Amino acid sequence: MKLGILCSGGKDSLFAAYKASKEHELACLITLKSKNPESYMFHIPNIHLVELQAQAMGLPLVFLETEGVKEEELKDLKEAIEIAKEKYRIEGIVSGAIKSQYQKERVDAICKELKLESIAPLWQINEEMYITELIKNFNVIIVGIAADGLKKEMLGTRIGLTFLDRMRSLNVSPIGEGGEFESFVLECPLFKKKIKVEESEIKMDGEFSGHYLIKKAILIDK
């Protein structure tokens, strides 16, 4: 089955695509850039770099902007998926939903309306198993923090065993499902090339809240 990937650039959407690729064909990426930083549906930091990830995968990208108004933004998501269905003949959508009933129900509803399969390989996955497999196969960095105990020096660092130990010690979800942190994938098995960050900036909004903004990045050989 040909699938479109709902891609935010973060670990969950691309790991879900990685899982789905074992049984299905990945045909394109679908990304929405929200103008609302409090969007209920869409990831914000470094979203423009999904284009570089699409190039790394050798796949086309459907990229639309949305005002990010709750529920209204779903019309924009539906439009993007319709474009992908018509242009790339996709038969289903893969998403990185893990525990958010809000997100999964809405993606499922759009897919049902458009007569597409909705595939969520990470739904209700065991967190420890997921993060362990992620660390083994992916190079993922932290690009956003928003939880007590998460410090500025974590921004831009790789998700690895040290990170996992830190999350456990703080009693914070290691997958960041509650928005405690946000991530960006630099390399994974789906990529034919890897992403190298050449210029970045850290912006803090408070002691435990901030973002790692990638200002320049390039593709390099693995």
Residue ranges covered by each domain of the chain: 2-119, 129-221
> What one-character-per-residue DSSP string does 76-117 give?
HHHHHHHHHHHHH---EEE---SS-HHHHHHHHHHHHHTT-E
- Please tell me the CATH code under which domain 129-221 is placed: 3.90.1490.10
Question: For the domain with range 2-119, which CATH number is right: 3.40.50.10490, 3.40.50.620, 3.10.20.340, 3.40.640.10?
Answer: 3.40.50.620
List the pLDDT tens digit at each of the 222 positions of the chain. 999 999 999 999 999 999 999 999 999 999 998 776 655 455 567 889 999 999 999 999 999 988 766 677 889 999 999 999 999 999 999 999 998 898 899 999 999 999 999 999 999 999 889 999 999 999 999 999 988 889 899 999 999 988 888 888 888 888 887 788 999 999 999 999 999 999 999 999 888 899 999 999 999 999
| pTM as predicted | 0.93
CB 60 within 8 A of CB 29: yes
**Side-chain-facing half-sphere of 109: CA atoms under 13 Å:** 10
**Side-chain-facing half-sphere of 77: CA atoms under 13 Å:** 27
Burial label for 91, CB within 10 Å (0-12, 13-18, 19+), is middle
